[in-house]
Amino acid sequence: MDQSDFSSILEELERSRDNTTHFSEAWSQGRSAFGGLAAAFAVTAMRKLVSTDIPMRALMVSFIAPLPPGKVQVKAKIQRQGRNVTQLVGEVYSDDQICLQAMGVFGIDRPGLEVPAASAEPPPRDQGVNFTRYAKRQPAFLGYFDGYWTSPGMPFSGHAARDLSLWVKHQVELPQFPVEKLVAIADIPPPVILSHFDKPPVPSSSLTWALEFVQTPDKINSEWFHLQFITEAAANGYTQQSGKIFDEAGQLCALTRQCMVYFDSPRP
C-alpha cells in the first residue's frame, strides 16, 4: 500500500496514542495541505472520542494558517455531550502552531417529520473531461482521485463561469473512514472564480468552511460523487461559494458553503 495515500495517513492518526500522523508534499497545494485532508485530521481525532453508533451531522472549519507537509498533531475535546447531540472541537497543529480549528456535531437518529431531500440527474461521466487530461492546471493531490469535469467552468479555462460541476472518487477504498471520505470529496472543487482566469497561478485559499450531511456518511455506499457548485459573489479579494454533493444515483448527500480569498484580478 502507498504509505502516502489517504487511507494510510488516516490509519496512522487513528492508531496513534498522541494523535499524530504525517503527510507528504504530494498532498499540498501551495504552502499548505489540501483542505479536505487537513479537515479529515480533525474529524478522525474527534471521532475517537465519540461512540461509533453516533453519526456526524455537521462540520465547521476555520483555516487559520498554512499546514506544511510533515508531522501533524491533532487535539480534540468534547465541548458538550447532551442526550442527543455531542459537540466537539478538533485542532490541527504543526510545530506547536495551530493551523486549523474545527467544530464537529454528532447526533443520534430521532423520529420526526421527514421531508425528502432533493435529487438530481448527473450527466454521464464519459461526457466530461478526465482529470488526467487537464492535469497541468490542477494541484498534484488530485492524482489521488479519479474525476471528470462536467461543466465549462474548469479552473483557468478563461470561461468566466459562475458554476462548476464534476464527478469525483477516491482511488482507494475507505470503508473504515466514511466521514473523512466525504469530507475530502466535498473540498475537491477549487474556487469557482478561477474559471475567470486563463492561466495559473492565482493564489487562493479557504478561510471558513461549513459542511452539513443530509445523509449520514455511514449509510452512503456510493464510490463516485457528483458535485455541483456555484459562486454566490466575489469582490475585494474574497469569494463565497456553495455546493451540493450527490451520490452516483443522484441522491443528495451533503451541503457545503465556503468563504475563500484570492490574490489577483481577471486579466483583460
Tell me if 237 sits within 8 A of 246, measured CB to CB.
Answer: no
Lowest-confidence segment of 10-24, 136-150, 183-197, 226-240 by average pLDDT: 136-150
The 10s digit of each residue's pLDDT in 161-181 is 999 999 999 999 999 999 999
- Specify if 124 maps to a domain: yes
pTM of full prediction above 0.85: yes
Strand, helix or coil for residue 61: strand
Cβ contact 33:144 at 8 Å: no
Which CATH number is 138's domain given? 2.40.160.210
Range of the domain at 178: 6-108+119-262
Is the residue at 71 inside a domain? yes
**Following CA atoms 222, 177, 138, 239 in sequence, which dihedral angle do they give, to the nearest 10 degrees?**
90
Closest CA to 240 of 231, 253, 248: 231
Tens-place pLDDT, residues 108-120? 999 989 999 989 9
Whether residue 44 lies inside any domain: the answer is yes
pLDDT above 70 covers a percentage of the chain that reads: 96
Could you report the per-residue pLDDT of 60-90, keeping only the tens digit for each? 999 999 999 999 999 999 999 999 999 999 9
Name the band, by pLDDT with cuts 50, 70 and 90, for residue 265.
low
Structural domain contains residue 268: no
> Percent of the chain, pLDDT > 90?
85
Q: How many domains does the structure of the chain reveal?
A: 1
Q: Find the mean pLDDT for residues 189-210.
A: 92
SS3 107: strand
Helix (H) or strand (E) holding 27: none
Which one is predicted more confidently, 146 or 200?
146
What cell was used for 15? Answer: 492508531
pLDDT band at residue 268 using 50, 70 and 90 as cut-offs: very low
Task: Identify whether 208 is part of a domain.
Answer: yes
Q: How much is the mean pLDDT over the chain? A: 94
Over range 33-51, report the average pLDDT: 97
Asked if residue 113 belongs to a domain, the reply is: no
Q: What is the Cα–Cα distance from 104 to 157, expressed in whole angstroms?
A: 35
**What pLDDT shows up at residue 3?**
62
Three-state secondary structure call for residue 124: coil
- With a CB cutoff of 8 Å and minimum separation 6, the contacts of 263 are 202, 203, 204, 237
- What pLDDT is recorded for position 71? 97
Q: How far apart are CA 113 and CA 57, in angstroms?
A: 17
| 176 burial via Cβ count (<10 Å: 0-12, 13-18, 19+) | exposed
C-alpha span between 47 and 194 (Å, rounded)? 34
